[in-house]
A and B are shown apart, each in its own frame.
Chain A
């Protein structure tokens, strides 16, 4: 069975500093990997995904993520964080062999201070 781990419950950074949100996964075979963001009292919004090809994936709002197969990781990054990036971030994985069951991590709360 697939699983996702987000080792940090909370990440706190100052505005303008780099932001990293960590994610590791476990699947059989090749993974499809996703990042979603949830603002307070809202539904989740898609940020970016890795399907195949280039290990560095660029997404919405200046975010990017790097797929590392040897470390089974898919960390989310932003070079310069904004206060408006404060939200709950979820990593998710779906194995190539199963089209339908997307597994989410527990989420990481990001707080960017002015």
Chain B
């Protein structure tokens, strides 16, 4: 049981480049989400999904796109990378969509934008 798998673990981009961070879970979780972690700011929600075909914005969605074509996968796309998007990105999922559910996190993807 792999849990939540994120790729790549590390990535360096130049300003203006685009890329996709991949997230896959094998627990049949309905809810999936992307967070970014910045020093002194905790984790901030970028986008989330409550099932295949359904996505919504979190606190800091600008500059990012998501899609959810299957239950397992929830990729995060950076359309035109900016230095402000240098961060550690975490994908997280949970059983169902109820507010009482705890999140299962991936290992993170560290992105540097030059």
Q: A43-B90, A101-B58 are in contact. Are A51 and B100 (CB under 8 A)?
A: yes
**How many B residues face the partner with a CB closer than 8 A?**
28
Most chain B beta-carbon contacts within 10 A, residue among A32, A95, A99: A99
- B99:A44 contact, CB within 8 angstroms: no
CB proximity of B46 to chain A, nearest CB, Å: 11
A positions within 8 Å CB-CB of B: 4, 9, 32, 34, 36, 41-46, 49, 51, 90, 94-96, 98-107
**A101 to B40 CA separation, bound complex (whole angstroms):** 20
A-B CB contacts (within 8 Å), total count: 62
- A101:B45 contact, CB within 8 angstroms: yes
Known pairs A36-B103, A96-B99, A104-B44. 18 more at Cβ < 8 A? A9-B40, A32-B99, A32-B100, A36-B105, A43-B90, A43-B105, A46-B102, A46-B104, A49-B102, A51-B100, A100-B31, A100-B48, A100-B50, A100-B99, A103-B45, A106-B40, A106-B41, A107-B42
**A49 to B99 CA separation, bound complex (whole angstroms):** 11
A-B contact pairs, 28 of them (CB 8 A): A9-B40, A32-B99, A36-B105, A41-B107, A41-B108, A42-B107, A43-B92, A43-B106, A43-B107, A43-B108, A44-B90, A46-B102, A46-B104, A49-B100, A49-B102, A90-B43, A95-B99, A96-B99, A98-B99, A99-B97, A100-B31, A100-B33, A100-B97, A101-B45, A101-B58, A102-B103, A106-B42, A107-B42
